[in-house]
Amino acid sequence: MRKERLAKRGIAAGVVVLLLSLLMGTQAYAYTLHYWKMDTSIWYRASYLFGDETREGFRSRMSAWNQYLPEWRRLCYDANVHYDSGYPSRDGRNQIYKEPMAASKTGAENKVWYDQIGSMLYVRESDINLNWNVSWTNGYDPSRVDTQTVMVHELGHTVGLHHSEHRWAVMFEETYAGYLNRDLTSDDINGVRNRYL
Ligand SMILES: [Zn+2]
φ, ψ of residue 178 to 5 degrees: the values are: 75, 15
Between the CA of 130 and the centroid of ligand 1 the distance, in Å, is 12
34 within domain boundaries: yes
27 within domain boundaries: yes
Based on the structure, what is the number of domains in the chain? 1
φ, ψ of residue 83 to 5 degrees: the values are: -115, 20
104 within domain boundaries: yes
87 within domain boundaries: yes
Closest CA to 118 of 194, 190, 37, 41: 37
Query: What is the C-alpha R_g of the chain?
Result: 16
Between the CA of 177 and the centroid of ligand 1 the distance, in Å, is 16
Tell me the residue range of the domain where 147 lies.
6-190
pTM of the model: 0.85
197 within domain boundaries: no
The full DSSP string for 130-165 is E-TTS-EESS--TTSEEHHHHHHHHHHHHHT----S
Residue 188: predicted pLDDT: 94
| Burial bucket for residue 70 (CB in 10 Å: 0-12, 13-18, 19+) | exposed
18 within domain boundaries: yes
Between the CA of 89 and the centroid of ligand 1 the distance, in Å, is 19
pLDDT, tens digit (0-9, with 9 covering 90-100), for 105-140:
788 989 888 888 887 889 999 999 999 999 999 999
φ, ψ of residue 169 to 5 degrees: the values are: -65, 145
pLDDT, tens digit (0-9, with 9 covering 90-100), for 159-185:
999 888 888 999 988 888 899 999 999
101 within domain boundaries: yes
120 within domain boundaries: yes
CATH of residue 129's domain is 3.40.390.10
Between the CA of 25 and the centroid of ligand 1 the distance, in Å, is 20
